[in-house]
Chain A
Amino acid sequence: MNILVVLRMIPDSAGELQLAEDGRGIDREWLDFQLNDFDDHALEEAILLKEASGAKVTVVAVGEGANRVLQMAAARGADEVVALQSEEDAMISSREIAASIAAMARAKSVDLVLCGVQSTEDVFGQLAPYVGALLDWPHVSGTNRIVANGAVLRVTQERGAGVAVTYELATPAVLGVQTASKAPRYVSGSKLREASKTPIGRATPELSGFELTAEIITLRLPVQGGSGENLGGNAETVADRLVTILAAKGLARN
């Protein structure tokens, strides 16, 4: 089985985000770029499938810092790594990259495309269903378990409220991974050093075939605070206040 994994580098949004001067993006100058969490799980699931059934894993990465993450993927067991050229300082929209991924899947006779279920930078839709629809391959997102038996996949999807649904589908297919069957593995420094010699292929993007598209006019920060009361940053004072508040509402004691 040939597996293609898509890794997207996105700004670390745990810290503070500043708006760019033109208001259409975020200021990327001082931001750390990191691998989209869900894509990390997609990579892990691919390597687990390789270990279980001997697949070939090709990893394509897009965005700032792609080379670094491709070396990490090689250290984790990817057979081939490719950087998809992207515009610097631009958001990575699924709608834009779907055609490139679909073309690569065709060119490399891929049986299974894996990517993360979503990326926080992606307001124009999800990658897996775009690629699935463009290739007319079956697709399922939100997966937390993938088992391959030859060309037949058993895929478990979370539906919310503790409900899980298992589907069967045949390859070729596209899956949007929510959680890998096991947590993404740690790679040692020595393995990373060894993998740094892995040659990184280059791919040029395909033009998106979509003529109609939406546009981001401006970005803004949400109005902060809601209507809640700020108790401050001193743990002792906060604890005192909370005890009073809970007592007043009859919630302080078991």
Chain B
Amino acid sequence: MKLIACTEGHSGKIEAFSLEMIAAARSLTQADDEVVAFFAGRDAEGASACLGAADRLIVARSTRSDVIPAETYALLLRDVIIAESPGLVLVPYSANGLDVAADIAARTGWPLISYVNEIKRLGENLTIVAQMYGGKILAECEVRLPAVLMINPGAFAAAAPAPIAPVNVQTIDAEPVLTSGKVKMVAIDMPDYADVDLTTADRIVCVGRGIGDEASIDLARNLATMLGAEIAGSRPVVDNGWLPKLRQVGKSGQKVKPKLYLALGVSGAPEHLEGMSQADLIIAVNTDPKAPIFNVAHYGATCDLFDLVANLSDRLRAGSGR
């Protein structure tokens, strides 16, 4: 059987989760199975240089466009599926993957399971553990191959980056499909880190929706200043306009790895954890003892965040005056 691992990259960078998709596929192979990595975009060389954990690589190469719209990616992938008849297609849960997985499932008629954390294979059957309700419930699912799975970034340890032998790389021209595609990319805006770059921050105090309102952010900001930390927020905090977008941590925000991550009133949805679970020291404060943030925290407290901020600020202030 062939297993297709979908990979991604743009602006000269192959996304780290690409190597996780290959590892996930590899973990399911039997006897003569083959892991085929699929890449669409401009950086064919970058893909060949690092996706060597796959047996083969199929690159749908574009000469112009740095970002391939998901729909075009899905159409290119569908052609590969027709040509290769794989038994399984693994798609990352990314901005692109969100659109690709269901599109491919609809166009092939195959079943799809999303937010997958674990997979076990027994011949033509898979048992899968997937996340629901923001990580509060795990669903054990069963599916018969062929199937499409959308995999959570971080669920599988990445395969080692290595070059792939040129004989194992097949290049197809993405331009005709891109040109006739109904979705055209017109602009790509890269972040301007002049204000803050959380990815290089040593210490971060992150506030979640539990902070309640914009005015209360100042309490956390003062605590951050005392700790020499940057202030950051979860998605709802940023969506509410209480903090600028570059201060958002998570899937659609920044991926951070500070020495200290203090999470105040953050529930720990999978999309948030994706941005911060690699921090060296995670301290979480949340009144709900079942909040998923406690699954990654090194220290957890179930007190009210406002009480904690007040108490901690007092002690740090007293300490610095000594």
Residues of A within 8 A of B (CB): 11, 13-14, 16-17, 19, 26, 94-95, 98, 117-118, 120-130, 132-134, 137-142, 154, 157-170, 173, 176, 178-179, 183, 210-222, 224-226, 228-236, 238-243, 245-246, 249, 251-254
Contacts and interface: CB of A to CB of B under 8 A. Distances in A.
A173 B10 CA distance: 25
B201 interface: no
Interface of B: 10-11, 67, 69-71, 74, 94-96, 98-103, 105-107, 109-115, 127-128, 130-144, 147, 150, 181-191, 203, 225-228, 239-241, 245-246, 251-255, 259-260, 267, 281-285, 289-290, 292, 294-304, 307-308, 310-312, 314-316, 319-320
Contacts of A229: 298-300
B300 A228 contact: yes
A153 to B, nearest CB: 10
Contacts of B228: 253-254
Nearest to A163: B190
Contacts of B71: 132, 138-140
Residue of A133, A157, A162, A252 ringed by the most chain B CB atoms within 10 A: A162
B227 A214 contact: no
Contacts of B147: 212, 214
Q: Is the interface of B mostly helix, strand, loop or mixed?
A: mixed
Contacts of A176: 98-99
A228 B299 contact: yes
A240 B206 CA distance: 20
B191 A162 contact: yes
Can you list the 9 inter-chain pairs with the closest CB atoms, starting with the nearest? Answer: A162-B191, A235-B307, A133-B106, A239-B311, A254-B228, A138-B182, A129-B102, A125-B102, A214-B143
Contacts of B135: 222
Contacts of B101: 125-126, 129
Given A121-B133, A219-B139, 6 more contacts: A122-B114, A126-B102, A139-B71, A168-B186, A217-B141, A222-B135
